[in-house]
Amino acid sequence: MIQSYRSKLPSSPTSPTQQMEVLSEVLHNEIISQLRVILGGALYEMDRVNILIDNLDKPWSKNEDLSALSLFLFGLLNVVERISIEFSVGGKRKTVPVSLTVFIRADILSVIKKNVPEADKLRITSIKWDNEQRLLRLIEERFKSGLDEYEEIGEVWNKFFVRTVDGMNTRKFLFHYVLPRPRDIIYFCKQALFSANSNDHTRIEADDLKEAQKAYSNHTYLTLLEEIGSLVPDAPGILRQFMNAPDIITKDEIQQLIERAGAEISITDSVIDALCEATFLGYETTSGSFEFLYDDRKDDRKTQASRVIDATGVERYKINPPFHTYFEISSSV
């Protein structure tokens, strides 16, 4: 569909509005009209049809034209509501009560907003998993099949996990060293379970969790590289300079790392911005307290950080604990 969209664009530069019209034509002629016929006949008796669209990040890489791809994805997001309306119109075709939900990574949405000013008009709801109980409940649900019928779901932690890791409660350990996203905590626990099985353990022990921590931290690094690769010149070279860095780091120190990587120090602000967007770095929002961008309140966080900088005269950031193991960073706490 992307090739079809590009082939219909005129050779001369076009405005975002014109490109949106072309995209809308392609979607309606080649996708929506076909879906309308197929799904209309199969689902018209349903009370409600919910369509979830995911994996839009697959073509997203540093080798792509992110400006064009941003516009294309914005077009997809923009027609979601119109698709629902299209399915609700009867006439010669059967009506279908359809609702569509599109999942998209926060970092991708951020780039779309930078390249497509109209993106602010999209109706967007952020999914936040920064509640410890809600996130850990996912693990309880996955392990509950191993419980006896008389055991409460909370027994998952007593039956399948060691109580503490280096003196820290296991649940606190997981929440501290995992980015608060379902796929992350599931990945971490799968790695821990694999280690436990490999070592013939009857439950997940502290050593298994530490092995999982290593594997997961490496995984977060690779994900980080993928997220910022299109935004930061020589991202691998710059990130290497963070090895053995302090967990709380000043802007001046980050600038030195960028210079050591052979990059221009003029990109310091854009590098910091990308690393904060990717939750590698957190803003100092009150003196000694740091927050990561797990929500869409970036402007609020930057405003809070500016006040701290004005009060202290120092611009500081904190490296997120999930990255500590890979980068061999010791916590200052």
Domain with residue 296: its CATH number is: 3.90.56
For residue 320, is it within any domain?
A: yes
CB atoms within 10 A of CB 204: 23
Q: In the prediction, which pLDDT does 51 show?
A: 78
Dihedral angle sign, alpha carbons of residues 159, 161, 166, 170? negative
Task: Write down the pLDDT at residue 127.
Answer: 75
Q: Which residues of the chain have pLDDT under 50?
A: 12-13
**Same domain, yes or no: 150 and 115:** no
For residues 8 and 111, state if they share a domain. Answer: yes
264 and 162 belong to one structural domain: no
pLDDT in tens, 121-154: 777 777 777 788 888 998 998 888 777 776 788 8
Judge if 273 and 187 occupy the same domain. no
Domain limit, last residue, from 171, 195, 226? 226
Q: Residues for the chain: how many in total? A: 333
Q: Which of these three, 121, 155, 188, is where a domain ends? A: 121
Are 108 and 18 part of one and the same domain?
yes
77 within some domain: yes
Asked whether residue 283 is domain-assigned, the answer is: yes
pLDDT confidence of residue 13 = 45
Report the 3 state secondary structure along 93-150.
Answer: CCCCCEEEEECCCHHHHHHHHHHCHHHHHCCCCCCCCCCHHHHHHHHHHHHHHHCCCC
Residues 6+ apart with CB under 8 A from 280: 224, 228, 319, 320, 323
Domain membership of residue 314 (yes or no) is yes
Q: Which of 202, 226, 250 is the last residue of a domain?
A: 226
Q: Report pLDDT for 331.
A: 75
111/207 same-domain check: no
pTM of the model: 0.77
Measured between alpha carbons, how far is 171 from 160 in angstroms, rounded to an integer?
12
**Same domain membership, residue 301 and residue 198:** no
Shared domain check, 256 and 215: no
For residue 138, what are the domain limits? 132-226
